[in-house]
Structure formats: C-alpha cells, structure tokens
C-alpha cells in the first residue's frame, strides 16, 4: 500500500532547516508539541490518493507526474521574475492538488455537499416524503430530529476529493489565468511558515472571489487571485490571462501573511528556522482554521445556498 503525500515532498523540501540535517522545524496546533521531521515522515496517508469514487482510482497521481517534477525549476524562475508557461502550470497544479486532496481540503469541501443534502431532506420532509421517526428514536419528523441533533448527515471525504479531481484541470486553468503577486520576503527573522494546509485566504474587492496565498519557501510566496469571468471558460493552458507583479514586502506584511498561514493550517505548522518568537506566535494563532460558511436564502419552493470559506475561531484543547 503506497504512502501518498498530500503535501508534496518536493514542496516541503524548500522549508528544510539549515541547522537540522534534512529536517524541518514543526509544531502541532492541537497540543503545541514540537519535533523535527523529515519531509517523507509527515503529510502522508496510506493509499491516500486512491479514490474509489473515480473510474481511474489513481487519476490524481497521473496529474502530479506533470506537476511535481517541474516544481524546482518553476520556483527558481518565479523567484527570478522569469516564469514560463510550464512554471505557471506547475504551481497552479500544486495549489489545485492541495485544495483537492489534503485532509483540510476534504473537510472544507465536504460541507457544501452536506448542506445541500440536508436542505433537500428538509424540503422533502416538508412535502411529506418521509414518515415520522420510530418511537425508538423518540419520534418526530425528519426535520425535528435534524434540528435536535438525534441524526446528522455526514459526507465521505473522498467524495469531494473525487469531484475536485474530476475538475482539477479547470481549476489549474482558472488559477493560471489569474493575477499573481510574487511576494519576496527578505526579512530573515520573518521567514514564511508552511503547513499541512499551506493555503491562506484573503478577501478581494469581488465578494465572489477569494485570493489564495501559497508560500513557496521561507522567502517567496505567491498570491493568486482568479478572474471570475473565466470561471466557466474552457481550460486554456497557454494562460493568456496570466498577469503577475513581483514585489518585496515589508516585515509587517510578512508577519500578517504568517498570521494567515498559521491560522489556516489544519494542525501541523513547519518552518525552516525556530527563532524564539515562533512557538509563541503559533500558540497565539492556533485556535483558528478555515471553515465553510453557509448562507441560506429562501426562494420559492425551497432555499438557495451560498458558500464561502472563512478563517474562523476553532477552540483546541
């Protein structure tokens, strides 16, 4: 059974610590424990990239064959300000993979499916499609037992991953044809974190669009803002809509991005150095994670659901 890395090793190696031989500094948000793992020892699950909901169960692995081997060259050219088409594809592909197959992504992406099923069940119950619950469950309508928590709806996390895998080329095109800010961080004491969900989110002037920040190393990150007009366009891997700006950021901006990165992490946080401020920083921002927020709008015959990812408080023990 293969051990599949949901955060690619070739990516994590950019965060190896100079003072640790082939290891990173790491901390858990859940219990604040620290350790020094090798990249091959973290962010992996047995057979994690095998998805029984897909006809080609290992389809994502075939996709990664065109993404991961190009990462180092793509990183170098983006850092130098000379990206090529294949570099855009590699980084957009890596981001799309993290947004599809990591445990954090599967948790976030399961919520819209769960909410749709629950909303449909409530409408059908109102229309008389279901009998009341048996007395052994305390009686009541399906709506009653959903409301009081006697039953709940759960989604197999592999199912949203299958949906994401089936549409991953469209996502690569959407990101690749967006606006990219290449963020150069020259502040040695404020190097970027990464994590087991290394994607921070930011609001944009368009309420339907979120920007994603992906750290590529302690000194380089990209902020990718999709063009909403291309959301339903056919994939175009020539990336005619690609635009980028390369800029050096302030120490204050580096700290702000690090705050977003730590808050967005699912549990494991990694860094290439472990200056004294880092453990306190993780402790300060550990009680957050990305959640899918559902807004319900009544419409004739039912409800319309709107979903948005937000960084929200999440209490840890």
Number of domains within the chain = 1
For the cut 70, the answer to whether the pLDDT of residue 188 exceeds it is yes
With a cut of 70, say whether residue 9 has pLDDT above it.
Answer: yes
DSSP3 helix / strand / coil % (the chain, rounded to 5): 40, 20, 40
Looking at residue 299, what is its pLDDT? Answer: 82
pLDDT at 97 over 70: yes
pTM of the model: 0.95
**Separation CA 76–CA 90 (nearest Å):** 12
Containing domain of residue 154, as a range?
Answer: 3-313
Percentage of the chain beyond pLDDT 90 is 91
Query: CA-CA distance, 193 to 200, in Å (whole number)?
Result: 11
- Angle at CA 132, nearest 5°, toward 130 and 135? 150
- pLDDT of 293 above 90: yes
Binned at pLDDT 50, 70 and 90, residue 302 comes out as low
The answer to whether residues 244 and 184 touch, using CB atoms and an 8 Å cutoff, is: no
Per-residue pLDDT at 182 exceeds 70? yes
Alpha-carbon dihedral of residues 8, 188, 269, 161, nearest 10 degrees? -40
**What is the pLDDT confidence band of residue 130, given thresholds at 50, 70 and 90?**
very high
pLDDT at 1 over 80: no
Q: Does the pLDDT of residue 53 top 90, yes or no?
A: yes
Residue 303 has pLDDT above 80, yes or no: no
Mean pLDDT, residues 180-209:
97
Looking at every residue in the chain, the average pLDDT score rounds to 96
The two structure tokens encoding residue 291? 């959640």
Residues 137, 146: Cα–Cα separation, whole Å: 12
Q: Which CA distances in Å does 90 have to 104, 143, 147, 255, 298?
A: 21, 46, 45, 27, 42
């Amino acid at each position: 059974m293969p051990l599949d890395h949901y955060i690619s090793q070739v990516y994590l190696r950019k965060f190896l610590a100079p003072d640790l031989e082939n290891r990173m500094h790491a901390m858990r948000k859940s219990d604040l424990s620290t350790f020094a793992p090798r990249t091959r020892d973290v962010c992996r699950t047995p057979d994690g990239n095998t998805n029984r909901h897909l006809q080609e169960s290992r389809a994502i692995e075939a996709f990664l064959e065109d993404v991961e081997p190009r990462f180092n060259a793509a990183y170098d050219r983006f850092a130098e300000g000379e990206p090529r088409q294949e570099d855009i594809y590699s980084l957009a592909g890596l981001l799309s993979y993290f947004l599809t197959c990591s445990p954090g992504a599967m948790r976030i992406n399961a919520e819209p499916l769960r909410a749709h099923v629950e909303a449909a069940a409530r409408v059908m119950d109102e229309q008389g499609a279901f009998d009341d619950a048996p007395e052994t469950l305390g009686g009541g309508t399906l709506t009653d037992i959903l409301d009081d928590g006697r039953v709940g709806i759960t989604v197999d996390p592999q199912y949203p991953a299958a949906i994401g895998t089936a549409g991953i080329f469209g996502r690569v095109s959407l990101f690749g044809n967006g606006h990219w800010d290449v963020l150069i961080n020259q502040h040695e004491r404020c190097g970027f974190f990464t994590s087991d969900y290394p994607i921070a989110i930011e609001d944009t002037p368009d309420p339907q669009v979120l920007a994603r920040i992906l750290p590529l190393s302690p000194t380089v990150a990209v902020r990718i803002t999709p063009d909403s007009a291309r959301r339903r366009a056919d994939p175009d891997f020539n990336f005619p809509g690609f635009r980028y700006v390369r800029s050096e950021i302030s120490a204050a901006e580096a700290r702000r991005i690090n705050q977003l990165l730590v808050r967005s992490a699912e549990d494991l946080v990694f860094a290439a150095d472990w200056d004294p401020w880092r453990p306190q920083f993780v402790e300060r921002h550990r009680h957050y994670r990305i959640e899918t927020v559902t807004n319900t709008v009544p419409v004739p015959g039912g409800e319309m659901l709107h979903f948005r990812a937000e960084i929200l408080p999440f209490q840890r023990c």
